[in-house]
Structure 1
Amino acid sequence: MCGSDLRAPLRDGTTVTYANFDYAASAPALSAVAERVQSLLPFYASVHRGAGYASQVCTERYEGARDVVADFVGARADDVVVFTRNTTDALNLLASCVPGETVVLDIEHHANLLSWKRNGARVVESAGTVEETIQRIVAELCTRPAALLAVTGASNVTGEVLPIARLARIAHECGARILVDAAQLLPHRRVDIAELGVDYLAFSGHKLYAPFGAGALVGRADWLDAAEPYLAGGGATKNVEIDSVQWAAAPQRHEAGTPNVLGAVAIAAACEALAGFDAVAAQQHERELCDRLTAGLGAVDGVQVLRIWPDSPDSVGIVTFTVAGAEPREVATFLSDGYGIGVRDGRFCAHPLLSRLGHVEGAVRASLGLGSSGADVDRLIAAVAEFVRGRAAGDPR
């Protein structure tokens, strides 16, 4: 893992090995990813229409990356992989292609809320339990037809995982398709969209240990082929006349301009590396660390761990909490300056959800990843406890 030996400066002038609890925002690059990018740099050239050796190499790597991504997410044979800038870009791309209304939940990241709201999406207010929330989705989809149900795979605030296969069945029974925002889910869980019945999947490389400025939209080609190109420009066309344009089919239709070859290759390298890991062991390790962190924080006076639903069947490595009487930034700064711990504070681009949870001022999010350890978890728990003790004693730190 790149940066695993990073030293963080402390307020007392010393340094300590950095404890990264901000994977949900952006994950560090896997060493295999950085090495793959570095190996391609001497060959870097524009793709697709170049006859030169370097251009041929880059074209092969870029197009080959689509196959790797498709295989990693269990895409169907006729699905397409469109490379984008990130999840937000992928969602906005699909939003420009949907031939009808979209239904979304109010718990979504802004990327999976605002991209659809611009097109008049119908927002379902989540209920007190997962089951009640699903019934509200059913009622909404049955009220009047919708083209798409757009849901998060895992909450970026609490890590709670939705029952995707069940929601896919419900959407299809109601005549809709389903889009899954997998920005938080894919780095933690293996996903097979064909098996789950998912029509579209969006994710970011920078959360998948490939922070080189690319993301992807994977899914059915027909809507993408029928829509106007997301961007108008070179590479998206078959033929151009002054008074007419013949557009290419997807994915090229929505990839105008010189693409991010290195970003696409980085994502493919991350997919290959992650596919080689023991998924069951990794999930178990993460679960143990999450349980340890949740229990440890819960034992500290005044600390509240946030949850959306009491009946959530699963969650990924995200633990978000508040400290009574303390501003989230105050807590985060203390953890960084005093202990070399990196967390995220604020409202996590999910303002409606934080308001629903009763924390309009925000919270503190600790997110885990492949580089997380039990020692890091213990350091975070001890630091939060020290912060609470210091406040109780009137310590201005």
Structure 2
Amino acid sequence: MTVAIDNHSAAVTAVSGRDLRVPLVQGGTRTYANFDYAASAPALTEVTDRLAELLPYYASVHRGAGYASRISTDCYESARGSVARFLNCADDQVVVFTRNTTDALNLLAACVPGDTVVLDIEHHANFLPWRRNGRRVVPAADTIEETVDRVVHELATKPAALLSVTGASNVTGEILPLDRLAALAHRFGTRIAVDAAQLAPHRRIDLRACGIDYLALSGHKLYAPFGAGVLVGRRDWLDTADPYLAGGGAVREVTTTDVEWAPAPQRHEAGSPNVLGVAALAAACDTLGSLNEADATEHERYLTARLRDGLESTPGVRFLRIWPDSTDTVGIVAFTVDGVEPGHVAAYLSAEYGIGVRDGRFCAHPLLNRLGVDGALRASIGLGTRADDVERLITAIAALVDRGTGWNYHRQDGQWGPVPETRERLAPGSVTGVAPCTPS
């Protein structure tokens, strides 16, 4: 992978769309500054290369004798090894392919034989699925240490089958002490699951070393946006639970009166799988696993610190944080600008500066309520982020506070946009030559 030095930071540039030009409302174009990695990351070049290589061989898997089918089957099954190596899975853990983190955690929720304890800071994907089998919510405290103490008290007071926590907050990027939480959970006979959707793209995770029992992640956040996700976990619960979906591929034998289900992972992968999405995810795991972790982390921390420092010097900018004693975060910065709605700010950044950020409540309503805001802006950094992107965002927010917007903006049906909208949008097929259209 190509690594370039950019303004004293190491920036991995081999991602799709890195040189994308987007129109500005005032005319002209500018290279797109993508600060929405936490929602969906662009594909690594190695990922798109592997898909291009596999596409001619795409065929049904597991039950085909044709050469293409054999190639597709080998690719699909070998992807489990790529994921297992990337996460350093334990011997009794299996890799089940899903659609995304939400799908993976819903699958796990259907397998847990008892209550699940969660914090009130979770993404909805790790908050809503547990309602079906007994969800116990622990309110986060004012510090990480107090929060850990509250979890211990909850587990000691009443047994639970599972503790499920985020690896890194999708709102603030703050990282929980997973190894400590795993050890504490195991002390009380409780297993631990981790929503690693935000952590895995930024930090290497060692399941053996941390003692994590179950982990879920999404390919679209791991530089493989092709519709595949993963649930990795201990086999026993997955082998004894009812299949997540009933259908072909999940069985050993079927009669008109009975069925013998296959063990995991096949037990929970009924139907024709997303072979290309799984291949993309495996390519991302292989590529990220080969990176120099120290360099990638230094790159991210440098840019995150620069963004925080630049925004902090702007009057009226306020950061969202859960705990003042948190010492490590991934490249996510959530903030508000006094007197301007987040959606308005996001529309301005896109229209006048070619910057993409996320605004809203980030599928974490309890956490935003806890932090006392109805919505915020989130700028997230990834492998393709360059220092000049960060400087552009800092400049744009400073200009907004100092002079206001350079264009008129209006909210309609909850969505902010420039008025008039002068930027053309591409019609279906326009990438290959159909003329673009302008929405009415």
Considering the TM-score relative to the shorter chain, is it more than 0.5?
Answer: yes
Q: Where does 1:69-84 land on structure 2 (aligned, <5 Å)?
A: 69-84=83-98
For residues 142-172 of structure 1, give each alpha carbon's deviation from its aligned partner in whole angstroms, at most 9, with x where no partner exists. Answer: 1110000000000000000000000000100
Q: Secondary structure at 1:203's aligned position in 2?
A: strand
Q: Pick the aligned partner of 2:228 from 214, 222, 226.
A: 214
Q: Where does 1:1-397 land on structure 2 (aligned, <5 Å)?
A: 1-359=15-373, 361-391=374-404
Question: For the Cα contact (< 8 Å) 2:114–2:134, is it kept in 1?
Answer: no
Question: For the Cα contact (< 8 Å) 2:121–2:364, is it kept in 1?
Answer: yes
2:132, 2:277 → 1: CA distance? 28
2:207, 2:30 → 1: CA distance? 42
Gapped regions of structure 1 (runs ≥ 5): none
Question: With structure 1 as the length reference, what TM-score do the two structures score?
Answer: 0.98
1:285, 1:311 → 2: CA distance? 23
The runs of 4+ residues in structure 1 deviating greater than 2 Å are: 117-120, 393-397
2:18, 2:407 → 1: CA distance? 32
2:188, 2:251 → 1: CA distance? 35
Gapped regions of structure 2 (runs ≥ 5): 1-14, 410-440
2:133, 2:112 → 1: CA distance? 9
Question: For the Cα contact (< 8 Å) 1:112–1:150, is it kept in 2?
Answer: yes
Question: Displacement of 1:22 after TM fit?
Answer: 0.1
For residues 307-342 of structure 1, give each alpha carbon's deviation from its aligned partner in whole angstroms, at most 9, with x where no partner exists. Answer: 000001210000000001111000000100010000
Letter in 1 for 2:205: V
Question: For the Cα contact (< 8 Å) 1:9–1:15, is it kept in 2?
Answer: yes
Question: Displacement of 1:275 after TM fit?
Answer: 1.1
Question: For the Cα contact (< 8 Å) 1:390–1:396, is it kept in 2?
Answer: no
2:185, 2:334 → 1: CA distance? 30
Question: For the Cα contact (< 8 Å) 1:328–1:362, is it kept in 2?
Answer: yes
Question: Displacement of 1:305 after TM fit?
Answer: 1.0
Question: Displacement of 1:13 after TM fit?
Answer: 1.3
1:114, 1:394 → 2: CA distance? 41
1:162, 1:325 → 2: CA distance? 32
Question: Displacement of 1:259 after TM fit?
Answer: 0.4
Letter in 1 for 2:66: G
2:132, 2:307 → 1: CA distance? 38
Tell me how large the CA RMSD over aligned residues is. Answer: 1.1
Question: Displacement of 1:292 after TM fit?
Answer: 0.6
Question: Displacement of 1:395 after TM fit?
Answer: 7.7
1:384, 1:237 → 2: CA distance? 56
Q: Secondary structure at 1:118's aligned position in 2?
A: helix
1:197, 1:328 → 2: CA distance? 39
Question: For the Cα contact (< 8 Å) 2:112–2:133, is it kept in 1?
Answer: no
Letter in 2 for 1:85: R
Question: With structure 2 as the length reference, what TM-score do the two structures score?
Answer: 0.89
Q: Secondary structure at 2:194's aligned position in 1?
A: strand
